[in-house]
Amino acid sequence: MAAVTLGPEGTYSHRATTAVADDGEIDFRQSVTAIVDAVDSGEYDRGVIPIENSIEGSVTESLDALAEYDVAVVREIVTPIRHALLAQGPEFDTVASHSQALAQCRSYLEREYPDATLEAVASTAQGVEFARDDPSVAGIGHPANAEDGVDLEVLAEDIQDQDSNATRFFAIAPAAERSTGGGKTSLVVYPNANYPGLLLELLEPFADRDINLTRVESRPSGQRLGDYVFHVDFEAGLYESRTQAAIADLEELAEKGWVKRLGSYDTEHVVE
């Protein structure tokens, strides 16, 4: 099974991928959209993308790609994230990492390195590569990134602003592989409408059937200001009759828009 995830080697997404696809080849892309595109086109049968972090919230590029492309979510992976500061030595003036990692360490960086320039790059492991090539750059990433190659020191560990820092990843597959099992479901709903009580009507089909929502997130539709797409996750399988009934209600509500079934899946907790 060939899988694709955010590279280069050593990203948190790579670590999550080995946890679910350790028996096959893993290739890398430099953005979430490129990963989703490669799975949508059938080039890979699995992809792994970060979705949401406990400190920084949604990875908006992931939500937007899930709304735009036609892929299935087949598994959710939850993993603790403990960041380290890696550099050739203490004399650096720039910290390069994924925007989420920089944000998850914002208080630490402001406190310890208030004058450093923060540079958002494609991934944590890419920031570490830059640090390996340049003594004026430090990276933030998993401490194991210091182990391969030369000249990198772990200057500090556990620099995330909350000890309990955790990230959810989705394993995705081509749409035809949407699974029939799994206890959680993700949908994307675009009502393409705006009237009093719309959001309430969107949530009622779940409340009426005793379905527990675990997340509701709105994203701009891109069509016009104030127009939204809603990402909804809940604790029920896609093919349960109560879910099918709730989706039928949503489809009525979204008659001018659409309802996308991302799929049903189980959660895997990966502990370092």
Distance CA 206, CA 266 (A): 19
Strands 84-87 and 137-141, by their bridges, are antiparallel
Q: What is the DSSP letter of 67?
A: H
- Closest distance between ligand PPY and the C-beta of residue 142, in Å? 7
User: Judged by CB, which is closer to ligand PPY: 83, or 184?
Assistant: 83
Residues 158 and 134: their CA atoms lie apart, in Å, by 23
Is 26 a binding residue for ligand PPY by CB under 6 A? The answer is no
How many chain residues bind ligand PPY (CB under 6 A)? 14
Among 62, 94, 167, 264, binds ligand PPY (CB under 6 A): 167
C-alpha torsion sign, points 71, 18, 125, 154: positive
In the list 46, 98, 132, 231, the residue contacting ligand PPY (rule: CB under 6 A) is: 98
Give Cα 207 distance to the centre of its chain. 27
The answer to whether residue 96 forms part of the interface with ligand PPY (CB under 6 A) is no
Please tell me whether residue 17 binds ligand PPY under the rule CB under 6 A.
no
Residue nearer to ligand PPY on the CB measure, 152 or 259: 152
> Does residue 58 bind ligand PPY (CB under 6 A)?
no
Question: Is 145 a residue that touches ligand PPY (CB under 6 A)?
Answer: no
Look at residue 228 and give its three-state secondary structure.
strand
What is the C-alpha to C-alpha distance for residues 91 and 46, in angstroms, rounded to an integer? 41
Using CB under 6 A, list all residues that contact ligand PPY: 6, 11-13, 50, 53, 81, 98, 100-101, 123-125, 167
